[in-house]
Every structure is written in C-alpha cells, then in structure tokens.
C-alpha cells in the first residue's frame, strides 16, 4: 500500500467526469488499498478516485469514530434520497476550508463492492452527506460549488 498525492482545488482533473469500472484488476485493487490508506492518513472520512488523479467511479468512505469501518463503492448511484440536512462540509482537496452545504438527510446507494458484487447501502446524517459528497466528485463537482454563504477557514476536513 502507498499513500497517494491528493489533488487540490484548481487541478482540472477534479472537474472531470469519471468512467465506470468494468472489471476488477490488480491495479484497481491496489488503488482501493492506497485510497483507504491515503484517506486515513489525511484524517478524512471519504476520498474519491479523481482526488488521487484517477478518473474511475470509485470512492472510499469511513465515518466511524475509530476509523475501522471502511466502505468501498464502485460505480455508486444514489437510488433514493429523503429529507434535508444543513451543515458544515470539508474536502481533502480543499484543505483548511469548510462551508455550509444542504444535503439529503438519508440516501440509499446502489454500487458494487470490491468483489464486483452488487450492494445496497443506506446512510443518514454524516454518512448520507459523505455518500453525496463523494459521488459528486465522480461527476467533477466539488462541494464549494454548493456552499451557502462564504467558505470558512477550518481545521476539520472530509
Ligand atoms: Ni471531497
């Protein structure tokens, strides 16, 4: 495993649309491990492949307190969204900043796991926010485009 370099806002790759993953390969398996290591190393709760320069529809998330509940989503799609939450959000590609974003309070996501098996996951609150934020990355969207009001300085990143 290796820590990968996280692309920062202003890097044009963050605005591009990622491509679906058709099959698991040793390269993608290594990418998943590296993305998890990179996310934990940066104290983030989520990371999308374009953030490490790879335009593939792959995200990793861990919103658990101890960082021991990794979620790997390949080709994730939001199937259902309910309710609303408004709160602060950050991004490892936008270091030192946070901003208020309104997201669904509950989402259901369909994806493939790292064995390319279909999975369906539900999340509310922080996990719902993470699903939406990370899936946005796959479509070249950064949360800063959705911020209500000003971007603030912050030490907490997601
Ligand atoms: Ni992000």
Span 86-116, pLDDT tens digits:
999 999 999 999 999 999 999 999 999 999 9
Span 24-55, pLDDT tens digits:
999 999 999 999 999 999 999 999 999 999 99
Identify the pLDDT of residue 2. Answer: 94
Cα 79 to ligand 1 centroid, rounded to whole Å? 20
Per domain, the residue ranges of the chain are 12-153
Active site residue 37: no
Identify the pLDDT of residue 1. Answer: 79
Span 55-71, pLDDT tens digits:
999 999 999 999 999 99
Identify the pLDDT of residue 154. Answer: 82
CA dihedral of 119, 124, 127, 130, whole degrees rounded to 10 = 100
Cα 52 to ligand 1 centroid, rounded to whole Å? 11
Cα 27 to ligand 1 centroid, rounded to whole Å? 23
Please tell me whether the overall predicted TM-score, pTM, comes out greater than 0.85 for this model: yes
Cα 71 to ligand 1 centroid, rounded to whole Å? 15
Identify the pLDDT of residue 32. Answer: 98
16 vs 51, 65, 80, 137, CA distance in Å? 11, 31, 24, 9
From 138, 110, 122, select the one nearest 18 (Cα to Cα): 138
Q: What percent of the chain has pLDDT over 70?
A: 97
Q: Which CATH class is domain 12-153?
A: alpha beta
Cα 92 to ligand 1 centroid, rounded to whole Å? 6
Catalytic residue among 84, 134, 145, 150: 134
């Amino acid at each position: 495993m290796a820590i990968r370099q996280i692309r920062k806002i202003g890097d044009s790759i963050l605005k591009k649309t990622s491509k679906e993953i058709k099959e698991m390969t040793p390269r993608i398996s290594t990418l998943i491990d590296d993305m998890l290591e990179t996310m934990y190393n940066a104290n983030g709760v989520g990371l999308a492949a374009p953030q490490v320069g790879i335009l593939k529809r792959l995200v990793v998330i861990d919103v658990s307190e101890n960082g021991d509940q990794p979620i790997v989503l390949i080709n994730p799609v939001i199937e259902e969204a309910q309710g609303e939450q408004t709160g602060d959000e950050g991004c490892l590609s936008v270091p030192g900043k946070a901003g208020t974003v309104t997201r669904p309070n509950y989402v259901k996501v369909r994806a493939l796991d790292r064995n390319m098996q279909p999975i369906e996951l539900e999340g509310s609150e922080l996990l719902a926010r993470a699903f939406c934020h990370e899936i946005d990355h796959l479509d070249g969207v950064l949360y800063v485009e959705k911020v209500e009001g000003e971007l603030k300085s912050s030490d907490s990143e997601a």
